[in-house]
Chain A
Amino acid sequence: MSTAIQGGLHRDTKGSKLVRYSLIGISLLFVFLMLILPLITVITEAFKQGFAVYSKAVADDYTIKAILLTLEASFFAVAINTVFGLCAAWSLTKFKFKGKKILATLIDLPVTVSPIIAGLIFLLTFGRQSPIFPLLQDADIKIVFAVPGIVLATIFVTFPFISRELIPVLESQGTDEEEAAALMGAKGFTIFRRITFPHIKWAFLYGVVLCAARAMGEFGAVSVISGHLRGKTNTLPLHVEILFNEFQYVPAFAVASILVMLAILILVARSVIEHKGRKK
């Protein structure tokens, strides 16, 4: 009797077979068309003229420089955003202060603003038209059309990722455990290391991975501020664009395949982290 009722409920909530299969079918088709097909295309185009051409394109000096620059920019973006993300998430969840809501909203700005605009902001702030440009020139600091500009743009675009992962976890934890530790005489850093960090570890790593992924792939903001100087200010995504515009299709796809592989690597890292985090 009860199983019959359960069966009926099950059908009511999960819908009929037809609905189920068509929903699954649509999702699979969509994922295939939008994600898998392009990925396959990138790989096949990259190897179209054989492995020798592929490896020549990948081992090209400019490509290697682009890879190194991308890694450099990503490294700085992740490092700086880690510090900022921890500070922002900590202060937003553990303190009460004026302007807290505004700060929480502003953190999300880079996600809503188009990266091109982010690039333009830095171009106008540090470029020739800027009032502080003479000062920068006197101090011999180059930001626009140089590596610092690329790093800045990458930081801007990726800065919500870590704090956004941490805030919900810190919020759900409350402040009791920290208070308890403080009452027993623990100092700020000990409290962070022994109480808070074990709790946010997996969310934190997840945020770092997302931040790194976004930093490596960033195109718009970096494109505006980099100046596309080959071998100097060309990141991987920019390098792909240049090659493509020069009708060098195979090298373009070959370089793109590096980005794809980095993305897959990160995806794997992400799943591992998620899996471990859930087990805890």
Chain B
Amino acid sequence: MYVELKHINKHFGNFKASDDVTVGIEKGKLIGLLGPSGSGKTTILRMIAGLENPDSGEIIIDGKVINDVPASKRGIGFVFQSYALFRYMTVFDNVAFGLKIAKKPANEIKERVHELLELVGLSGLEKRYPSELSGGQRQRVAFARALAPNPQLLLLDEPFAAIDAKVRQELRSWLKGMIQKLGVTSIFVTHDQDEAIEVADEIIITNRGRIEQVGTPYEVYSNPKTAFTASFFGQPSIFKDYSNFRRFDVLENAENAIVRPEFVKVTKKTEVQKYKNSAEEGVVEEVDFRGYGIELRVRVNGVLLTARRSFDQPRIKVGEKVDVFIYRMFVTQGDTATLLENKSLREPVVVI
């Protein structure tokens, strides 16, 4: 493990920002720290950077405990949420700042800055001030500035939060590609699950100061281990009592059932469906246009579920009675989540 946190605790007054955080990060990986606001993800990032000190626990980088190493000596590049570009310095001076502080020779600084600006595609803008740049350009400058002293570890706090939606998409793939190309171990904080899934090699999910789960985007999305992770991803419908859905095993002490839209198949009464016999009847309450297709809100056994259909399928109207088949659901018991499959999937199907 390149970066390791061991039993880290951190309080801000009465607020517990980190609660026995233990996690490891491999060298060269791009890690997403994902969680709702107030879950302690930024605190973890700031403690690794040395901007905050943990109350207890150890932070280890490259085999060395660095709790007492000052932030500036940790060899870390940090990209702030609002970029924190020096507004009274030009792009060149912003990128050169760290090198000047390190007392590098002037020609070396000049070379390195030009190399970096070339890399991030901002050559020719050396003399601009941050206020004369677009949001995306500012992020690129912040990125170049953080990389200038050749850090071993790059930390990014909500790197896409301050950028409008369209450019954000573009920057996500740009940043991912750039970090892969450089091979620098990177950790970025985000509250946006799509962003984490799209950009990260591995996701660390935080909630209330604790680490909920660590894994590849595929793992944490499709195989959530905790109640929080199960309910965090996707666009879940959560309800208490699932005993009316008879095709699922009944677990003891079950608290909530969680059904994601992709677990639900909605078909018209007239449509052919493989599991028609075990489908439940539902009434459509809402039909919304979503660009990629249609989003439906269907009430089944008193529970409102969200489902999706494509434009190619026959139209469904509000108030229509439909067949609803649920492939799977997550059921939570205390802190853990269990994936239940519809029993019909295991039974031999007789198509009439």
Interface of A toward B, CB cutoff 8 Å: 174, 176-177, 179-186, 190, 194-195, 198-199
Contacts and interface: CB of A to CB of B under 8 A. Distances in A.
A180 B145 CA distance: 10
B92 to A, nearest CB: 14
Contacts of B322: none
Contact of A190 (B51, B80, B101): B101
A183 B87 contact: no
Nearest to A190: B101
A199 B89 CA distance: 11
A177 B71 contact: no
Given A183-B76, A184-B97, A177 B84 contact: yes
Interface residues of B, number: 22
Secondary structure at the B interface, as helix, strand, loop or mixed, is loop
Nearest to B88: A198
Given A183-B51, A184-B72, A177 B102 contact: no
B98 interface: yes
A184 B85 CA distance: 13
B59 to A, nearest CB: 15
A176 B86 contact: no
A182 B98 CA distance: 9
A interface, by DSSP: helix, strand, loop or mixed? Answer: helix
Nearest to A175: B84
B82 A185 contact: no
A84 B195 CA distance: 47
B325 interface: no
A149 B86 CA distance: 43
B49 interface: yes
4 smallest beta-carbon distances between A and B, as pairs: A176-B84, A184-B98, A198-B88, A185-B72
A180 B80 contact: yes
B109 to A, nearest CB: 13
A182 B50 CA distance: 10
A195 B86 contact: yes
Nearest to B103: A185
B80 A182 contact: no
A186 B101 contact: yes
Given A176-B80, A181-B86, 14 more contacts: A179-B51, A180-B84, A180-B86, A180-B145, A182-B71, A182-B72, A184-B98, A184-B102, A184-B149, A185-B98, A185-B101, A185-B102, A186-B101, A190-B101
A89 B50 CA distance: 25
Contacts of A199: 87-88
Interface string B57-89: 000000000000001110010101010111111
A56 B50 CA distance: 68
14 contacts: A174-B82, A176-B82, A176-B84, A177-B85, A177-B87, A179-B51, A179-B84, A180-B78, A184-B102, A184-B149, A185-B73, A185-B102, A194-B97, A195-B88
Nearest to B157: A176
A181 B49 contact: no
Contacts of A185: 72-73, 98, 101-102
